[in-house]
Amino acid sequence: SQDWWPADWGNYAGLMVRLAWHSAGTYRTADGRGGGGTGDHRFAPLNSWPDNTNLDKARRLLWPIKKKYGNKISWADLMILAGNIGYESTGFKTFGFSYGREDIWHPNKDIYWGPEAEALASDRHDDKDDASSLQGPLAANHMALIYVNPEGFEGNPDPLKTAQHIRETFARMAMNDEETVALTAGGHTIGKAHGNGDGANLEAEPEGADIHEQGLGWMNNTTRGVGRDTVTSGIEGAWTTEPMKFDNGYFYMLFNYEWELKKSPAGSWQYEPINIKEEDKPVDVEDPSIRYNPIMTDADMAMIKDPIYREISEKFYKDHEYFKDAFARAWFKLTHRDMGPSNRYIGHDLPKEDLIWQDPVPAGNSNYDVDALKAKIKASGLSVQELVATAWDSARTYRGSDLRGGANGARIRLAPQKDWAGNEPERLSKVLGVLEPLAAEAGASVADTIVLAGNVGLEMAIEAAGSKATVPFSPGRGDATQEMTDVESFAHLEPIHDGFRNWKKENYTESGEELLLDRAQLMGLTAVEMTVLLGGMRAMGANHGGNQNGVFT
């Protein structure tokens, strides 16, 4: 423990878990952006969000480790690893950990965080009484919060209303109800909230702080401001009797006491138990002879007030082993959701089990006669447009943001992709009906064959123009099965616009140019790559539905 920022109960577990959680927790399914995969928690605006108050201290505490190992470990990996180690120091066995996150070195410019100009504001719902009206692609329901306001929507305590927003927000972060309860409970089983003081005494956030603060923010030079006197969220107290032990204390507290709404020393809404046994109170972070009331947030109360959440909470309370397994899996998913398939994982602590949210794809065969297969595709009678469009549609779902989608797996032949309007189901069915038998005959995957067919189409178009070229090809893609495919999850990858094929599903507020640039950025294309691909697709007449807009050749 460091004197300049002492650890609660002599252990930084709670602080490091919060750092990992808030690093990973910005992930959203709509566009795959956010998450802990780039280490962007170090940069504006995230490093100065109110919900990340005092996590600058957590990163500074990790600096000696980063300095020691340098480029052998990224900041992105280190922040998530610190959370895992924090949990393990409290007796919890995590599901696993993968290295491999690559740091960025400047703020992200591609992520839309919302329309509000002020932190903690919420102007992102079409109807504030309807949590599901949250505007896409957003997931958090307030500006500058990771999830929801712990005091209640817009700071008004109402556990049932908060439950609606929790359900919507966590669903947009790829979590179901059981995972949501597990994460809430597991996150609040250790550590505490900090609000023993006046938040008005906190100085500017890191991006607004004076240079002499050396990159730190939220300094408190008026009062002691550390240890038991720390102010962070404004809520004050621990959730369990033993905050440095991963036990069933969270559910014990929720189900064994009645709770009443009170104000913290910082003036924030929180719930405290009525007539709690003295021995059930957590001890002070500095003096074990002092005990204080535990607390619950509005979000915690939602875990027993919402009927669905309550049923799950009761199940976890009665079966601690089941809860631990559910939380371990949910925590692993939270911290690895944006890392792509498991074959990208690195390290010695990797789970052996394939999980459906990893979009598993079996290993493919690369030992077949590529030239012979190309010849059969060329002689199949399929047109340039049919070959090129099918290959494009298979590949265009790729998102560099969370490494999902793309041609590997050939999921274009499975639900839901085979029925997407953007994939022209009738044309797709025809092309697959020709390519699948050719793939089987050659011993190639359908995924390889679709991509190779696109190459053949491009080579045919070049030849028709009087030139000749061989398009590079790397075999080895595998074919996923329907059982390996989470239909609901893949629905988020549906292209509702595609400027490269001159199509959009309906009219949108954003201009066509904006939509094109957003799609190109998600696919990881440079400006030059975007331009030549757009021109090439037009030149080959690969527009959606055969429309001729923009086809000048």
d(CA 213, CA 254): 41
Specify the DSSP class assigned to residue 8: G
Strand segments (E) across 96-216: 192-193
Looking up tokens 């008005």 gives 200
- To 10 degrees, what angle do helices 307-318 and 249-256 make? 120
d(CA 501, CA 195): 54
Are residues 300 and 254 in contact, defined by beta-carbon separation less than 8 angstroms? Answer: yes
Taking the CA of residue 304 as centre, how many other CA atoms within 13 Å lie in the half-sphere pointing to its CB? 19
Averaged pLDDT for residues 187-214: 97
Res. 553: pLDDT tops 80: no
Give 296-347 pLDDT, tens digit per residue.
999 999 999 999 999 999 999 999 999 999 999 999 999 999 999 999 999 9
Name which of 392, 411, 397, 367 is nearest 453 in CA terms. 392
Class of residue 526 by CB neighbours under 10 A (exposed 0-12, middle 13-18, buried 19+): exposed
3-state secondary structure of 17: helix
d(CA 514, CA 499): 10
Are residues 378 and 454 in contact, defined by beta-carbon separation less than 8 angstroms? Answer: no
Give residue limits of the domains in the chain: 8-336, 370-546
How many other C-beta atoms are found inside a 10 Å radius of the C-beta of residue 14?
26
d(CA 478, CA 451): 12
Question: Quick check: do 8-336 and 370-546 share a fold?
Answer: no
Fold of 370-546: Peroxidase; domain 1 (1.10.520)
Q: Which pLDDT does position 44 carry in this prediction?
A: 97
Q: Which pLDDT does position 221 carry in this prediction?
A: 87
Q: Max Cα separation, the chain? A: 88
Are residues 223 and 197 in contact, defined by beta-carbon separation less than 8 angstroms? Answer: yes
Direct distance between the N- and C-terminal alpha carbons of the chain, in angstroms, rounded to an integer: 70
Would you call 22 a catalytic residue per the annotation?
yes
Among residues 22, 142, 188, 194, which one is catalytic? 22
Its pTM stands at 0.96
Residues of the chain with pLDDT > 90: what percent?
Answer: 96
Q: Which pLDDT does position 549 carry in this prediction?
A: 82
Report the sign of the C-alpha dihedral through residues 131, 134, 140, 143, in that order: negative
* 281: amino acid identity, one letter: K
Confidence bin at 509 (pLDDT 50/70/90): confident
Confidence bin at 166 (pLDDT 50/70/90): very high
d(CA 518, CA 116): 21
Give 395-454 pLDDT, tens digit per residue.
999 999 999 999 999 999 999 999 999 999 999 999 999 999 999 999 999 999 999 999
DSSP string, 368-381: S-HHHHHHHHHTT-
Report the sign of the C-alpha dihedral through residues 26, 28, 31, 37, in that order: positive
Confidence bin at 142 (pLDDT 50/70/90): very high
Give 62-96 pLDDT, tens digit per residue.
999 999 999 999 999 999 999 999 999 999 999 99
Res. 548: pLDDT tops 90: no
Averaged pLDDT for residues 15-21: 99
Give 466-479 pLDDT, tens digit per residue.
999 999 999 999 99
CATH superfamily for domain 8-336: Peroxidase, domain 2 (1.10.420.10)
Tell me the two tokens of residue 350.
């990797």
Pairing mode of beta strands 192-193, 259-263: unpaired
Integer CA distances (angstroms), 229 to 18, 190, 234, 359, in order:
18, 19, 11, 46
Res. 238: pLDDT tops 80: yes
Tell me the two tokens of residue 527.
């400006």
How many other C-beta atoms are found inside a 10 Å radius of the C-beta of residue 32?
24
Name which of 143, 154, 139 is nearest 114 in CA terms. 143
Are residues 137 and 33 in contact, defined by beta-carbon separation less than 8 angstroms? Answer: yes
Are residues 131 and 164 in contact, defined by beta-carbon separation less than 8 angstroms? Answer: yes
**Helix, strand, coil % (nearest 5) of the chain?**
45, 5, 45
Confidence bin at 389 (pLDDT 50/70/90): very high
d(CA 100, CA 345): 7
Integer CA distances (angstroms), 212 to 5, 7, 208, 217, 269, in order:
17, 24, 12, 10, 34
d(CA 214, CA 7): 21
Confidence bin at 152 (pLDDT 50/70/90): very high
3-state secondary structure of 385: helix
d(CA 50, CA 210): 18
Tell me the two tokens of residue 153.
């929507």
d(CA 81, CA 39): 12
Name which of 86, 90, 138, 79 is nearest 114 in CA terms. 138
Q: Which pLDDT does position 206 carry in this prediction?
A: 98
Peptide bond into 282 cis (omega under 30): no
Mean pLDDT of the chain: 97
Q: What is the CA radius of gyration of the chain?
A: 26
Are residues 475 and 368 in contact, defined by beta-carbon separation less than 8 angstroms? Answer: yes
Averaged pLDDT for residues 208-232: 95
d(CA 486, CA 480): 11
